[in-house]
Amino acid sequence: MAEYLLILVSTVLINNVLLSKFLGLCPFMGVSNKLDTAMSMGLATTFVLTLAPVAAWLLEHWILQPFQIEFLRILAFILVIAAVVQFTEMAIRKNSPVLYQVLGIFLPLITTNCAVLGVALLAIQEDLGFMQSAVYGFGSAAGFTLVMVIFAGLRERLAVMEVPPAFAGTPIAFITAGLLSMAFIGFSGLKFS
């Protein structure tokens, strides 16, 4: 149990997928203008990001390793991730039209989110078990959502602030992102004994 907790804390705070690994930066800058869109993007990504390392683990241990074709990892993972996202979209559309409306275009776009492939590959690289992979994925997704929400909140406030004209708009957002990243680097000082 402690081990899972450790993975969770590590992926959410210390090795945050956005601010420490710098994966998935396109949605980070792209859909963080409004708090609610950032939230729904985070939710959609959470769903896929939890499933992807699990699917990747199954693929790696049941197909790629027995046949010694680990060199096809990226190709196979992208294939499976795309299928999982498609399937998720169909399932959500059928079962919860409201959620489908909220997530909208973000859902299919997750296929091309590098964080999804990145987390799947990292989970394999760190030689995690099946459940550990799932927790790893969920933790990364929770960290992603957390940062998205924080950053969207900051940007919503920035929108009504008096920013010097030279920095108005995207530049100040980049500066904010940098400061936020520095703040998260502070978490790397966390020690577990």
Partner 1 sequence: MVLQTEVVFAAIFCLGILGTTLGFALGYAAKFFKVEQNPLVEQVIVLMPGSNCGQCGYPGCNPAAEAIVNREVAPTCCPPGGKVLAQEIAELLNISLDLSQVEEAQPRLAQVDENNCIGCARCLKKCPTDAIIGALKQVHAVIQDACTGCEACIEICPTECLQMHPVQVTLKTWHWDKPALPLAA
Chain contacts with partner 1 (rule: CB under 8 A):
59, 63-64, 67-69, 72, 75-76, 79-80, 83, 86-87, 90-91, 93-94, 97
Our CB check for partner 1 shows the closer of 26 and 69 to be: 69
Our CB check for partner 1 shows the closer of 94 and 191 to be: 94
Our CB check for partner 1 shows the closer of 7 and 121 to be: 121
Q: How far apart are CA 119 and CA 17, in angstroms?
A: 8
Q: How far is the CB of 37 from partner 1 (least distance, A)?
A: 19
Q: How far is the CB of 63 from partner 1 (least distance, A)?
A: 6
User: Dihedral, CA atoms, 48, 8, 66, 82, nearest 10 degrees?
Assistant: 10
Burial of 68 (0-12, 13-18, 19+ CB in 10 A): exposed
Q: How far is the CB of 75 from partner 1 (least distance, A)?
A: 7
Our CB check for partner 1 shows the closer of 103 and 142 to be: 103
Distance of CA 35 to the CA centre of its chain: 17
Q: How far is the CB of 77 from partner 1 (least distance, A)?
A: 11
Q: How far apart are CA 148 and CA 69, in angstroms?
A: 36
CB 113 within 8 A of CB 27: yes
Q: How far is the CB of 124 from partner 1 (least distance, A)?
A: 16
Our CB check for partner 1 shows the closer of 25 and 76 to be: 76
Cα-based distances in Å from 158 to 28, 51, 163, 172: 16, 34, 8, 8
